[in-house]
Amino acid sequence: MSTSPTEEKVERLLYSLTALADIGEAITSGGTFETTARELLHLILGTLTVSKGAILLYQPETESLRVAVARGVETIQLRMKLPESVAQALVSHAQPFVLDPTEGPFAPFVSENKAKFDGMHAHIWAPLIVANRLIGVLSLSEKFGKHPYSADDLQLLSTIAHHTSIAIYNFQIIDEIRAANFKLNRKVLEMESLYDVGLAISSLLDVKELSREILQRAVMLLDASQGALFFVEGAGLKVAASVGMDDRYPEDKVVTFADVPSQLRDIVIESKTCCSINARSLNNTDDAQNMLLVPVLIGQRVAGVLMVCDKETREGFAEFTPEDEQFLAAISTQAAIAIDNVRLHSEALEKERIEKELEVAAAIQQRLLPDSSPELEGIELIGVNMSCRQVGGDYYDYIHFNNQKLGIVIADVSGKGTPAALLVSTLQASFHALLENYDIAETVTRLNKVIFKASPSYNYITFFYGILDLESRSFFSINAGHNDPLLLKASTGEWKRFATGGFCLGMFDFGKYDVEETHLEPGDILFLYTDGVTESTNLAEEEFGEDRAKEILEQHRHEPLCEVSVKLSDAIREFVGEAPQHDDLTYVLMRVH
């Protein structure tokens, strides 16, 4: 008994619905993409009575199709180019179509790729589309018995392709979410690891211990089997730490740039970027197969190189990934901060040690200067010394020979700081050893020879030495290249300079010094000073100058000498203001009664 067309159509519809229900169950079964795709392809082939077929996924970044699953197709790894224009045409067409190389909108594409279509036994394609986006293609061979695809078959295939598209798209979304979660978890793990690295190395203040800790953690966190940390030193690299590479890179060994891969020098040090090297391609190969190197940057300076080698996996050694480069660069940044902190700590300790030594030196130097001015009948004396550093190169002194004679000395050593202070000590000791055995000219002559032998060629001393006979008020003096001391005459208000003498001490090992004799009168004020007084500079880079000093002394010459000194010091400080003091400042004032 034959069935009517209506009954046949109903049976066909029921079969299609059953097939779609089976496909829906396969989609929601919760299996992996591969197992689900295979089951889908199996149901599709069975539903449409087709023996061969494949699901191909579209990769827009490479404009190609990749066979994901296939049945009856030998070349399951087959890839074929799918230009973007063809992909857009598939989206626009949307419906299944026969791969006819002679007619239709896809005829040129089919003709061009006929060999590949034959290899896949492809007869009909159904585009897999979601939201106007090409996901892939369902490729089917001819039906059993080479029966043509009916209109019902094509309609069913279109419905099946739609469900398949959604299933594949969902799997892709899930894969993207999983990949994003994996990357996020990796980043979280990296951040935690970096935090642990920072905690572990932040408290280490020994550079060797710090270097070993940095390297060990880098090797461990990147699953490497060996590595080394180098510091740039001169024309090469000094091995700061080594793990698994002690034979080639023992600690403290200095490796010249000629003995390391050229990429290390050219890329890591010169370009300051990461570098991944396949060591087997190098002439001077290590035991390592793969090497990852990153610069250790302190500011813009390459202070070192961090290297890890041979990433270990279950399958053996693997190449380092871009993510590994970023992670090692982050570790390198942590390392740079810690290494610089060690340097700063070491410098702070050294500075503290120097400061303490300078405090001792300053205390010693202060003992070279008079504790107070001698109190002698007939004169007033006051001396002031201010060093621009803890120790300086200015010197002044009083020599009380007896009740009738007083020596006054002022000197300025070229340079500043500790070297100048050392030469001041030499000057003071030598001067005191010579002054009682010779007259003033002989004393300065012999002192010059001593300073010449004791000082380097670039150092010299400006020196002024005078002896006052308190009874006769005769003042005998020698100026050895020093700023001319000034005498303010009480009777006339005029100024006299003391310029007679000779060369600075220490310039030459010969020389003759002339003595100048001056008679002092009651009320005369003698002003001896170093260039730190007249060359004191304000923020406008103006110098205090000799004229300002003379003006102050003239205005206050009738006041007690201690008041005159205060007025002079205050005037200098007010003039300089916030400007830094660049030179030692010393002066001596003496008034005769």
Chain segment 453-476, per-residue pLDDT in tens: 988 878 899 999 999 999 999 999
Contacts of 82 (CB under 8 A, 6+ apart): 58, 63, 64, 65
Is the CA virtual torsion 80, 82, 86, 88 positive or negative? positive
- Counting residues of the chain whose pLDDT is more than 90, the rounded percentage is 36
Between 190 and 356, name the one with better pLDDT: 356
Beta bridge partners of 55: 69, 138
Beta bridge partners of 406: 400, 468
Confidence band of 487 (pLDDT split at 50, 70, 90): very high
Does residue 15 have a pLDDT over 70? Answer: no
Residue with token string 């892709």: 172
Distance (Å, whole) CA 410 – CA 396: 4
Distance (Å, whole) CA 295 – CA 301: 9
Between 279 and 451, name the one with better pLDDT: 451
DSSP 395: E
Helix (H) or strand (E) holding 196: helix 151-202
Is the CA virtual torsion 244, 250, 252, 254 positive or negative? negative
Evaluate whether 161 touches 127 at the Cβ level (below 8 Å).
Answer: yes
- What the block records as the tokens of 591 is 């008034």
Confidence band of 389 (pLDDT split at 50, 70, 90): low
pLDDT (0 to 100) of residue 207: 83
Does residue 76 have a pLDDT over 60? Answer: no
pLDDT (0 to 100) of residue 36: 80
Between 77 and 386, name the one with better pLDDT: 386
Average pLDDT over residues 138-156: 87
Between 505 and 372, name the one with better pLDDT: 505
Strand stretches in 439-514, DSSP E? 461-469, 474-480, 486-488, 495-497, 501-502
Does residue 434 have a pLDDT over 70? Answer: yes
Total residue length of the chain: 593
- Counting residues of the chain whose pLDDT is more than 70, the rounded percentage is 86
Distance (Å, whole) CA 385 – CA 516: 26
Tell me the CA distances in angstroms from 458 to 185, 297, 389, 419, 420, one per residue in order: 66, 39, 20, 11, 11
pLDDT (0 to 100) of residue 321: 87
Average pLDDT over residues 412-434: 84
Distance (Å, whole) CA 502 – CA 488: 23
Between 198 and 581, name the one with better pLDDT: 581
Does residue 289 have a pLDDT over 90? Answer: no
Contacts of 64 (CB under 8 A, 6+ apart): 58, 79, 80, 81, 82
pLDDT (0 to 100) of residue 91: 93
Contacts of 148 (CB under 8 A, 6+ apart): none
Strand stretches in 387-445, DSSP E? 394-402, 405-413
Distance (Å, whole) CA 39 – CA 25: 10
Average pLDDT over residues 435-441: 80
Q: How many CB atoms lie within 10 A of CB 372?
A: 9
Between 19 and 418, name the one with better pLDDT: 418
Evaluate whether 416 touches 358 at the Cβ level (below 8 Å).
Answer: no
Query: What domains can be seen in the chain, in order of their start residue?
Result: 5-175 (3.30.450.40), 203-345 (3.30.450.40), 370-592 (3.60.40.10)
Between 33 and 10, name the one with better pLDDT: 33
Distance (Å, whole) CA 230 – CA 269: 11
Find how far residue 481's CA is from the centre of its chain. Answer: 49
pLDDT (0 to 100) of residue 568: 95
Determine which of 72-76, 418-422, 498-502 has the lowest per-residue pLDDT on average.
72-76
- What the block records as the tokens of 2 is 């034959």
Average pLDDT over residues 22-33: 63
pLDDT (0 to 100) of residue 284: 47
Average pLDDT over residues 20-41: 70
Q: What is the pLDDT of residues 94-114, one digit of tens each?
A: 999 999 989 888 999 999 998
Helices (H), 222-305: 262-263
Average pLDDT over residues 223-252: 88
- What the block records as the tokens of 203 is 């408290």
Q: What is the pLDDT of residues 303-346, one digit of tens each?
A: 889 999 988 887 778 888 888 888 888 888 888 888 888 888 88
Distance (Å, whole) CA 227 – CA 312: 13
Which backbone phi and psi does 577 adopt, to 5 degrees? 65, -130
Beta bridge partners of 134: 129
Average pLDDT over residues 575-591: 88
Confidence band of 283 (pLDDT split at 50, 70, 90): very low
pLDDT (0 to 100) of residue 141: 92
Distance (Å, whole) CA 104 – CA 90: 12
Confidence band of 357 (pLDDT split at 50, 70, 90): low
pLDDT (0 to 100) of residue 286: 54
- What the block records as the tokens of 67 is 């066979």
- Average pLDDT score over the chain: 84
Confidence band of 517 (pLDDT split at 50, 70, 90): very high
DSSP 537: B
Evaluate whether 211 touches 241 at the Cβ level (below 8 Å).
Answer: yes
Count CA atoms closer than 13 A to 386's CA, side-chain side.
Answer: 13
Helix (H) or strand (E) holding 590: strand 585-592
